[in-house]
Amino acid sequence: MNVQELKHAGLKKWVEEAVALMTPDAVEVCDGTQAEYDRMIKITVDGKLATPLNPEKRPGCVLFRSDPSDVARVENRTYIASEKEIDAGPTNNWIDPKELKKTMKELYTGCMKGRTMYVIPFSMGPVGSDIAKIGVEITDSAYVVANMHIMTRVGAKVLDVLGTDGYFVPCYHSVGKPLAQGESDNGVWPCAPLDKKYISHFPETREIWSYGSGYGGNALLGKKCLALRIASVLARDEGWLAEHMLILKITNPQGESKFITGAFPSACGKTNLAMLVPTLPGWKVETVGDDIAWMKFGKDGRLYAINPEAGFFGVAPGTSMESNPNAMHTIEKNTIFTNVALTADKDIWWEGIGYDAPGKLIDWNGNEWVQDKGNKEQKPAAHPNARFTGPAKQCPCIAKEWEDPAGVPISAFLFGGRRPKTIPLVNQAKSWIHGVFMGSIVGSEITAAALDLKVGTVRRDPFAMLPFCGYNMGDYFQHWINIGKKGDESKLPKIFFVNWFRKNAEGKFIWPGYGENSRVLAWVFERCAGTGKAVETPIGFMPTMDAISRPDGVTDSDMKELLTVDIEGWKAEIADIRANHYPKFGDKLPKELSAELEAIEGRLNNA
């Protein structure tokens, strides 16, 4: 389809304005077909930007390598350009929107010379769902088009739903490197220098402008940009929730099912939990989504969630048949790999894949690499943030409801972080407001790997949304409180805090994690059903010592340590929140959270 065939007058005008600004050599409106996807892959392979993988080992798979400066989200170049700085809040980077648009228009001027402009109509969520939203991304990257085919629903069916006057979120993207006559990218992933990269969000006008990066979260604008930063603003204004949460379905031995969401900071096992293989006999876990949940109230007063994505954009290193077999099976075919290592027979490899490197590799920089276990300083073959983009429909444990346009009814929210001490294995909030308090203090302890930060301190990541909230996080806390007031608390999801990462005095993990986490999920299920055994404590409801079946190797003393309230540790936790966390939000901190802090401190002092 060409631009003139677009039936939506506003969309057509917007695209024409972009063409005049960016001056591409050609313009294509994406139709979402397999033929189009195949053509995008061929363009990247012919341009030496992608390497086809072994068709017998990885049918339909390709490997991309990025510029070394373009390997992750650039949070210090990510902006929430609200009209008032206070509305962006203390946890976001802010630039005046008029100033930012002036700067970026200068960068966009002529930026697609020598390239094709692709117009990608995409739906976040099942096409036509009342919970879904439509975006349109303009890009000059065939890599982006191919990834968006996997991560979203693209093409003519989206334009049909949009109609002649439907609402869409406009998204600009350019890699930021126009091509001179006869020039090509010469096999290098194009991008701009760091000081010219911008990932910009305009909350009032609901626009996303991205320039200078080809990396996933900066360039696939349906991902964090629309699905969280702009959607969180839409959710606030429209009375729903857009959250950085997995969605899983859990079924007990009697065949009864519940749906649970979970929010965790990075490196806390969100994807692994979403695709968990239970060790608990008779229980089953299936995946609805591994990263994002959009939730709206149904007619019955319950919150219903959709996974707005259609694929998984997962971190490869550490993913193995032991840690996440379902993910490994998902990416056996039709997958885009980025910045992993290449084997001699055109397969992939990364650190933590579960087996040694099979001989000489080509690393993510394109250099020869041979594994040397004796060299602790050896640079990794795969970048630590190397990725796979795989279709969700290929996941062996995908739930049959994963594309239900009505969403799935949520029974529980899980919050958690990587905490070696203080935080128990699991506890349940006493009320909705107590649960919001728990979400607001989520964090992970800093390890020796972060040399610029003090080891043992807690880096707070409220609701695991710190990099993704599109407005002032104090107002975001208030929105959660308002959702509780809007709903009937008896129908709202119950809220839990989990911690798989408690360590003993010897520094070893007490709880085995992975599939054994099904034992904790079973207790959460039972609490939602009104049958799980619990005791009331100063920090909420906790399992009795016999409420969770014990994995092999976990002793009585281990369970006691996992399920005992550390009074002094919690007092220190409260002191840190009072001194270092809540003051950031100033007058925007809801009074209800201050009151909850006082109440918990009082219960701890009286314990």
Q: Which pairing describes strands 62-64 and 336-338: parallel, antiparallel, or unpaired?
A: parallel
Q: Do 288 and 356 sit in the same domain of this protein?
A: no
Handedness of CA 264, 265, 271, 273 (dihedral sign): negative
- Asked, for residue 361, whether it belongs to a domain, the answer is yes
What pTM, to 2 d.p., does this model score? 0.96
The answer to whether 550 is a known ligand-binding residue is: no
The answer to whether 36 is a known ligand-binding residue is: no
Q: How far apart are CA 442 and CA 522, in angstroms?
A: 22
Note the pLDDT of residue 444.
85
- Asked, for residue 43, whether it belongs to a domain, the answer is no
Q: How far apart are CA 35 and CA 29, in angstroms?
A: 14
Q: Which of the listed residues 199, 220, 238 is the one where a domain comes to its end? A: 238
Residue 534's identity, in one-letter code, is: A
The answer to whether 514 is a known ligand-binding residue is: yes
Of the residues 30, 191, 268, 469, only one is catalytic, namely 268
- Asked, for residue 36, whether it belongs to a domain, the answer is no
Note the pLDDT of residue 446.
65
CA–chain centroid gap for 182, Å, is 39
Q: Do 214 and 87 sit in the same domain of this protein?
A: yes
Residue 431 burial by CB count (10 A; 0-12/13-18/19+): exposed, middle or buried?
Answer: middle
Q: Do 459 and 575 sit in the same domain of this protein?
A: yes
Task: Provide the residue range defining the domain that includes 231.
Answer: 3-30+74-238
Residue 395 burial by CB count (10 A; 0-12/13-18/19+): exposed, middle or buried?
Answer: buried
Of 452, 165, 117, 465, the closest CA to residue 292 belongs to: 465
Is residue 596 helix, strand or coil?
helix
Whichever domain contains 335, its CATH number is 2.170.8.10
Q: How far apart are CA 373 and CA 343, in angstroms?
A: 18
What is the chain's alpha carbon radius of gyration, rounded to the nearest angstrom?
Answer: 24
Query: Which residues share a beta bridge with 349?
Result: 341
CA–chain centroid gap for 198, Å, is 20
Whichever domain contains 174, its CATH number is 3.40.449.10
Is residue 413 helix, strand or coil?
strand
Q: Which of the listed residues 220, 238, 256 is the one where a domain comes to its end? A: 238
Whichever domain contains 543, its CATH number is 3.90.228.20
Q: Do 379 and 488 sit in the same domain of this protein?
A: no
Does 268 participate in catalysis according to the annotation?
yes
The answer to whether 171 is a known ligand-binding residue is: no
The answer to whether 65 is a known ligand-binding residue is: no
Q: How far apart are CA 542 and CA 566, in angstroms?
A: 13
Q: Do 86 and 181 sit in the same domain of this protein?
A: yes
**Torsion angle of alpha carbons 353, 358, 364, 369, nearest 10°?**
130
Q: Which pairing describes strands 169-174 and 207-211: parallel, antiparallel, or unpaired?
A: parallel
CA–chain centroid gap for 392, Å, is 14
Note the pLDDT of residue 448.
41
Q: Can you tell me which residue has the tokens 């099979």? A: 358
Q: Do 171 and 189 sit in the same domain of this protein?
A: yes
Q: Do 56 and 154 sit in the same domain of this protein?
A: no
CA–chain centroid gap for 336, Å, is 18
Number of domains in the chain: 3
CA-to-CA separations, 568 to 32, 73, 124, 200, 602, in angstroms, rounded: 57, 38, 45, 43, 13
Q: Do 481 and 589 sit in the same domain of this protein?
A: yes
Instruction: Check: CB of residue 190 under 8 Å from CB of residue 184.
Output: no
Q: Do 216 and 247 sit in the same domain of this protein?
A: no
The answer to whether 216 is a known ligand-binding residue is: yes
What residue spans of 47-152 are helical by DSSP H? 85-88, 97-108, 142-151
> Could you tell me the two tokens for 499?
């911690």
Phi and psi for 565 in degrees, rounded to 5?
A: -75, 120
Q: Do 261 and 291 sit in the same domain of this protein?
A: yes
The answer to whether 130 is a known ligand-binding residue is: no
Which residues of the chain are under the pLDDT cut of 70? 446-456
The answer to whether 269 is a known ligand-binding residue is: yes
- Asked, for residue 37, whether it belongs to a domain, the answer is no
- Asked, for residue 354, whether it belongs to a domain, the answer is yes
Q: Which of the listed residues 182, 210, 238 is the one where a domain comes to its end? A: 238
The answer to whether 387 is a known ligand-binding residue is: yes
Residue 546 burial by CB count (10 A; 0-12/13-18/19+): exposed, middle or buried?
Answer: exposed
Q: Do 407 and 421 sit in the same domain of this protein?
A: yes
Q: Do 454 and 570 sit in the same domain of this protein?
A: yes
The answer to whether 32 is a known ligand-binding residue is: no
Q: Residues, the chain, total?
A: 607
- Asked, for residue 69, whether it belongs to a domain, the answer is no
- Asked, for residue 38, whether it belongs to a domain, the answer is no
CA angle 89/91/94 to nearest 5° reads 60
Helix (H) or strand (E) holding 117: strand 116-124
- Asked, for residue 184, whether it belongs to a domain, the answer is yes
**Element counts in the chain: helices (H) and strands (E):** 16, 30
| Buried b or exposed e, range 90-124, using 16+ CB within 10 angstroms | ebbebbebeebbeebeebbeebbbbbbbbbbbbbb
> Could you tell me the two tokens for 507?
């520094």
